[in-house]
Amino acid sequence: MLKNIALITLITISSIGLFSCGEDYTNEIGHVDGLIKILDSSEKALHDVDTATLFEMTIFVKQSIEKIQSKNDTLTKEAALEADQFVGRLKSLYNLSQNYKKYQQEIDLIRVQLNNLKQDLNNGIIPKEQFPAYYENEQGGVISINDKINHATNGMSNRLKKMKENKATFETLIDDPTSYMSYYK
Q: What does the pLDDT read at residue 41? A: 96
Q: What does the pLDDT read at residue 22? A: 55
pTM (two decimals): 0.77
Q: What does the pLDDT read at residue 6? A: 37
Residue 152: which of 84, 106, 86 has the closest Cα?
A: 106
Cβ within 8 Å of residue 8, ≥6 positions away = none
Tell me how crowded residue 66 is: count the other CB atoms within 10 A of its CB.
9
CB 153 within 8 A of CB 50: no
Q: What does the pLDDT read at residue 71? A: 86
pLDDT in tens, 11-43: 434 333 334 345 789 999 999 999 999 999 999
Low-confidence stretches of the chain (pLDDT beneath 50): 1-21
